[in-house]
Structure 1
Amino acid sequence: MMVVRPIQANDHEALRELGRKTGPGFTSLQDNDEQVATKLEAGLAAFTAGSVPVEALYLFVMEDTETQEVVGICGIESAVGLSDPWYNYRVGTLVHASRELDVYNQISTLTITNDHTGYSELCTLFLTPEARHSKQGSLLSKSRFMFLAEFPQRFNEHLIAEMRGYSDESGVSPFWEGLGRHFFSLDFAEADKISSMDKVFIAELMPKNTIYTNLLSKGAQDSIGKTHEATTPARRLLENEGLRYTGYIDIFDGGPTLEARVNDIRAIQESQYVKVHIADIPPDGETYLISTTEFSQFRCCMSPISRAGKNVITITPDVASALNVIESSTVRIVPLSSGRRF
């Protein structure tokens, strides 16, 4: 059984191994010892702080309870852009018109902004290829909504998620080649590696003036707001939960930024508290996300459930063990898939 839990100090090697598998364009976790160590330190600090920090990185791993193998990671930044500026491009439109010349042109533009400063961010979602089955990607991603629902005081009312932008089979980003490369003598993989440690440095050297996209290469234009093939399922999942693309893109690869109000997200809106009844009989109901109410001992898994009374659900001993709950413990539940209610 798979369970999502807060990252721990002994997860260093597992986190390092995940970093070796992410590939170009996955800025938030790369094959970099320093970045991995820094991320682990930040993740541990978030769950051990004595008071609610203004900025915190809540990191979670997905663990196979049978093998104790870590197969995935996900995170939530409580607030972006407070210590260092948070940059992205806003896609806009300018009209150039002349009645005398009978000319009317709508031109797409890119303007660098800090509009999402202070927003919370879904980040660092990665699942090993071998584990991408049986809706385990949904569990890993949506477990964060359960944490947001349980501890809303730790987050902004607005939430964003940057989607990995399009790159070709060789790992080359057309958006970077058409724009960023003109200001840096670096290929995309090298620029991405540097940005994973110091994104602000590169962002501050990007052009601050409005960019007319018709001056970019066709490949760069076509990649604006386009998601990497490996990230398309994650985008679809988030959109089914209520996040939307509103015209903001990443400054490096042109990937879309999705956003929503936290309280408008389906899994948060529909989640509810119930008590658990533990029985060695597999429930025959629909699959639900089930999460605990403890902060540092937060757990989330997915399982079929059935009613055992008013506001009581039945789970198996295996599920109870994965969640570290006992008979009559309070848990939060929500249907795994949108459009279904308990």
Structure 2
Amino acid sequence: MLVVRPITPQDYAALYTCAVESGYGFTSLPVDESLLRRRIARAQEAFAREHVSEPGEEGYLFVMEDTETGEIAGCSGIEAAVGLTDAFYHYRLGKVVHHSKELDVYNALETLTLCNDYTGVSELCTLFLREPFRKNQNGRVLSRFRMLFMAEFAERFSQFAIAEMRGISDENGASPFWGWLEKHFFNMDFNQADYLTGIGEKAFVAELMPQFPLYVKMLEPEAQAVIGKVHDNTRPALRMLENEGFRFRGYIDIFDAGPTVEVEVANIKSVRASQRKPVRIADVPSDNTADVILCSTRVADFRAGRATIQEHPDHIVISPETADQLRLQDGDHARFVAL
């Protein structure tokens, strides 16, 4: 069974493998040992905090494990509130109107303005599923279980959530959008800038990024063409989030111009549709069953996975195997949503 659980120090090698396999442009998984180990330690601290009344700097990082082989299939995370310590940058798409009634000239021009508008919101991040496991809706489970976690522990997260989508870059990691910025404002390639941001070295953004709005028409056509567009490998993740209610509101990544999508947490489809009921452990009948994403309701010992259940008005029936893998006992509460 594939089970999602909190990351542990023993998962470092697997997390490093995920970082290598994720390739260029995956900012939250840089190939950097000290940063990855810090992320694991930070996640352990977050899961260990029993009493949290409001979102802070907690970073929750999970892995999906094949319990038969012990192999790690992928990872995903949630940041409770971004930008509380380090500035969290985006470009905001806007418009400026140049109008002269006397000359009968009217121009509405798109602009890009550097901003920190998403400071304090929660972020779904670090979603990566390794190639051999990209089947049987495993990616859907690895993404959507986070929404059950947020529904169960709502006090730990902001009212709003975002997800940054990887923008367009080529097989060598070159970004057309960054290429324009590099040419005029920076002296480093996209991979170096992306890596520095990933390891937390963000001071250069404030120091070198243009502080005044940019006219989109001033950018080279190749840079204009990728604004708000996603990398081909990211399209399935974007479609999944859009089905959950996430929408693009005009905010893009400052390096590759990939879109950031947002939603009010209470309006996420999986949050609204999820239910919380006591479990009964028994053989699940073959009829009247449902295929669901099921999770426990304890933070430190959190477990989630795909399961077949039988639902009743006041409880659900799960198999002994499912109970064992998700560490649920008879009478425990579990949260679930249809797969």
The number of residue pairs the alignment matches comes to 335
> CA offsets per residue over residues 67-88 of structure 1, 9 Å max, x none?
1111111111111111111110
For 1:95, which of 97, 101, 104 is the aligned residue? Answer: 97
> CA offsets per residue over residues 227-275 of structure 1, 9 Å max, x none?
1111111111111001111000111110111111110111111111122
In structure 1, give the amino acid aligned to 2:317: T
In structure 2, give the amino acid aligned to 1:107: L
* 1:171-320 alignment, distance < 5 Å: 171-204=173-206, 205-281=208-284, 283-284=286-287, 285-307=289-311, 309-320=312-323
* Cα distance, 1:181 vs structure 2: 4.2
- Check whether the contact 1:146–1:291 (CA below 8 A) recurs between aligned residues: yes
Query: In 2, distance between residues paired with 1:153 and 1:35?
Result: 27
* Cα distance, 1:51 vs structure 2: 4.3
* Cα distance, 1:103 vs structure 2: 2.3
Query: In 1, distance between residues paired with 2:51 and 2:299?
Result: 12
1:339 alignment partner in structure 2: none
Runs of at least 5 residues in structure 2 that lack an aligned partner in the other structure: none
* 1:1-342 alignment, distance < 5 Å: 1-49=1-49, 51-52=51-52, 54-204=56-206, 205-281=208-284, 283-284=286-287, 285-307=289-311, 309-336=312-339
Query: In 2, distance between residues paired with 1:241 and 1:13?
Result: 32
Query: In 2, distance between residues paired with 1:48 and 1:306?
Result: 32
Query: In 2, distance between residues paired with 1:44 and 1:99?
Result: 62
Query: In 1, distance between residues paired with 2:222 and 2:322?
Result: 48
Instruction: Please give the root-mean-square deviation of Cα atoms over the aligned residues, in Å.
Output: 1.6
Give the alignment's TM-score, normalised by structure 2.
0.94
Give the alignment's TM-score, normalised by structure 1.
0.93
Identity of aligned residues (%): 46
- CA distance 1:253–1:282, change in 2 (3 Å): farther
Query: In 2, distance between residues paired with 1:268 and 1:69?
Result: 29
Query: In 2, distance between residues paired with 1:280 and 1:69?
Result: 28
* Cα distance, 1:16 vs structure 2: 1.4
Query: In 2, distance between residues paired with 1:93 and 1:74?
Result: 35
**What is the SS of the residue equivalent to 2:256?**
coil
Query: In 2, distance between residues paired with 1:272 and 1:283?
Result: 22
